Structure formats: structure tokens, C-alpha cells
Amino acid sequence: MEIAYINSPLGAIEIKGNEEGIASVRFLGSEEKETNVISENLQPCSNQLKEYFEGNRSQFDLKLNPEGTNFQKRVWDKLLEIPFNTTLSYLEMANRLGDPKVIRAAASANGKNPISIIIPCHRVIGSDGSLTGYGGGLHRKKWLLAHENPVKQQSLF
């Protein structure tokens, strides 16, 4: 498994993958030196994440290879269907999976998403509009949702 580190406005990000695709993208709690020479398997992911953070990308075009159960992969596939600048509740996610009773299992799979940002688990919120848990931290979830919102609040003063 190849590894690369990039810097972002939200801290260091670790990218793991190989010729079979991207296996994980995760925020690190510590600072990491950005990888100088990124392998050809990870370079497209690095470039696209940087474009996303610069505001120049709203969709990713990458080969993904996350490890998980069949149910988790079904949930992650549904997450990929959530458009940029759109949110969905956990209940809506369960309904899209075909059974509102799987809400807890869907929430658990959402929380185990190994490919942050690209598989947009940050776009799933509580039914009441609250920013429920996020593996990368609620401050990052709030930032990502604000970053994707084209309407920026202007200062009155």
C-alpha cells in the first residue's frame, strides 16, 4: 500500500492506495511533512483534493477501493450519489437503501467510511438539521459544508 501526505486548510491528510484504487483518505491529528514525490497511483487523488480545497472541483473522478462489508459498500455507494452542496439525513439515507429500519446500521457504516471528502459522509446530517458526528471532527464537517455552499455570508460591517 502506497502512502502520501498532503496539507489542507483542515490539517494534514493521509492518502493510501495502490494500482487497485484509493483505499483511504483521512485527516491526521498531527502535522506531517507533505510528500515531495507522490506515486502515480496517488497523484490524481492528491491533485483533485487540492483542487477541491482551492474551490476548483466539486466532483472527484478517482478509482476507489475501500475495504468494508457489502452493506458498508452499499452505504458508501449511496453517499457518492449525494451531490455537491447538498445534505441528506440519516433517515433519508436509510430510505434510499430501501428500508428505514436500517438507519442505525447506515449511520454506523457512514461513520466507518475510510475515504473522507471523496465519499462525502460529511453531507449526512441529523433529521433536525444538526451536524451529528463526523470521524474527522465536527469542526471539519462544519468547514466542509460551508466550503461547498456557494452562498457565503457577507459581513455587515
In this predicted structure, what is the pLDDT of residue 134?
Answer: 78
Clarify whether residues 75 and 118 are in a common domain: yes
Task: Report the run of H or E that residue 93 belongs to, with start and end.
Answer: helix 90-96
In this predicted structure, what is the pLDDT of residue 117?
Answer: 97
In this predicted structure, what is the pLDDT of residue 30?
Answer: 73
Q: Please, are residues 90 and 103 in contact by the beta-carbon 8 Å criterion?
A: yes
By residue range, what is the domain housing residue 88?
70-148
Q: Please, are residues 52 and 23 in contact by the beta-carbon 8 Å criterion?
A: no
Record the cell numbers describing residue 77, joined without a space: 455507494
Record the cell numbers describing residue 156, joined without a space: 455587515
Instruction: Give a yes or no: residue 153 inside a domain.
Output: no
Locus of grid cell 462489508: 69
**Phi and psi at residue 78, to the nearest 5°:** -65, -35
**Phi and psi at residue 108, to the nearest 5°:** -65, -45
Structural domains of the chain, count: 2
CA angle in degrees (0–180, nearest 5) for 122-124-130: 100
Clarify whether residues 36 and 74 are in a common domain: no
Instruction: Give a yes or no: residue 74 inside a domain.
Output: yes
Cα separation, 57 vs 48, whole angstroms: 7
In this predicted structure, what is the pLDDT of residue 3?
Answer: 97
Clarify whether residues 84 and 109 are in a common domain: yes
Instruction: Give a yes or no: residue 63 inside a domain.
Output: no
pTM value > 0.75: yes
45 catalytically annotated: no
Q: What is the pLDDT along the chain (157 residues), one digit of tens a residue?
A: 999 999 999 999 999 999 999 999 999 977 778 888 999 999 999 999 999 999 999 999 999 999 999 999 999 999 999 999 999 999 999 999 999 899 999 999 999 999 999 999 999 998 888 888 777 888 899 999 999 987 655 555 5
**What CATH number has the domain bearing residue 85?**
1.10.10.10
In this predicted structure, what is the pLDDT of residue 153?
Answer: 57
Instruction: Give a yes or no: residue 27 inside a domain.
Output: yes
Annotated catalytic residue, options 6, 121, 124, 144: 121
In this predicted structure, what is the pLDDT of residue 148?
Answer: 94
| Residues counted in the chain | 157
Q: Whose CA is closest to 85, among 58, 116, 56, 125?
A: 58
**Phi and psi at residue 56, to the nearest 5°:** -105, 10
